[in-house]
Amino acid sequence: MFLLAGLTACAVTKPIVTTRVVEPTVVETPVESVQSGQQLASAPVPAAPTTSNLVSSQGSRLQQADPNRVLTYQNGQPVIQGGGQFSQNQQDLTYLPADSSTVSQPVIQKASTTTSKKTPKKFSSWVLPSRKIVKTPKSLVDEGRNPCALTFDDGPHKTLDPQILSILDQHGIRATFFLIAKSVKRQPELTKEIAARGHEIAHHSWDHDDYKKKNGAGQAADLKRANDVFNNLGIYPTVFRPPYGSFNKKTVSLARQAGLDTFLWTNDPEDWRKRDAATIRSRVNARYTPGSVVLLHSIVPGTVKALPGIIEDLKAKGCQFVTSSEWIAAVSSN
């Protein structure tokens, strides 16, 4: 997210972006904040900033930039003159005006993606039984990465999912919605809206039956019946989460044949059991480890209330939010 150090924030039209305010102890000039890839709204374009005016809390890539190259704006995006453009994945850049006398050199702070005694040595194979996981939480952190996936099960919910979409838009986050196909059939427009807003639609069975209680033929029929509903909407999921996290080897095999990776979670606040927002937020925070895959349920009102705080906590821990398929690609081999 691109941040302009100062006191005020500009309005961004779509998606809405909530910005963090940088403490004004260093820079006195009020400026505006933008999200990477979004157009500036109502903010005057600063005169000829350069890469030496950028302060990064995440990206060592800035150290490779020529400090004398001038930044301009094209379609509201900062572009390095003479070639090169900041990618949408660049994290937490703070812009200081070119005429600022307080900062003349880039300041690279340590990323907040640090390991601790709680960091597991590896991801459980249970999280992704359809592939070999080749990364560990520590190896991701060592590479300066911390892919975290927010996942929402059991929707679409006609009133709560729109609220979740609004919150995610405000923070510029893409998430994964594991939808029950029977509910999708009742809420096709909401399902298409979730996809249109840039989120991943994933397979959560036809009607939330326990796959362990089905034989192979029953599992295959359920997978296909749900897939047909998604496909009729022009949606082709690549990720499957078995209801209740209940599956067997046959489930994984049949899902792969249907083009689906079986994908579970690493962080379960049990929002379906204890539904107040404060407890849900506290549990996600306490159960965090680098590379967290957070299991939430979009049918729980307390989860919606807890979501802004959950996002704030995970951002503070250095999470780089990704979809489920992006998380899979980041940690596994085929």
Catalytic residue chosen out of the listed positions 153, 154, 222, 261: 153
Is 92 assigned a catalytic role? no
Is 203 assigned a catalytic role? no
Closest CA to 38 of 95, 77, 81: 77
Round to whole Å and give the CA distance between 85 and 172. Answer: 19
Q: Which residues contact 101 (CB under 8 A, 6 or more apart)?
A: none
Round to whole Å and give the CA distance between 31 and 298. Answer: 36
C-alpha radius of gyration, the chain, whole number: 21
Q: Is the peptide bond before 162 cis (omega within 30 degrees of 0)?
A: no
Round to whole Å and give the CA distance between 62 and 81. Answer: 15
Please report which residue ranges of the chain form alpha helices under DSSP H.
Answer: 137-142, 160-171, 181-186, 188-196, 216-232, 249-257, 277-286, 301-316, 324-331
Residue 144: Cβ within 10 Å count? 15
Residue 217: Cβ within 10 Å count? 9
Q: In whole angstroms, how far apart are CA 20 and each of 93, 213, 260, 315?
A: 11, 48, 37, 11
Catalytic residue chosen out of the listed positions 157, 268, 297, 313: 297
Strands (E), the chain: 2-4, 54-56, 71-74, 77-80, 93-95, 132-133, 147-155, 176-179, 200-203, 239-240, 261-262, 293-297, 320-322, 332-333
Q: In whole angstroms, how far apart are CA 261 and each of 83, 128, 266, 315?
A: 38, 8, 16, 27
Check if the beta carbon of residue 283 is closer than 8 Å to that of residue 269.
Answer: yes
Paired tokens of 326: 């992006």
Catalytic positions: 153, 297
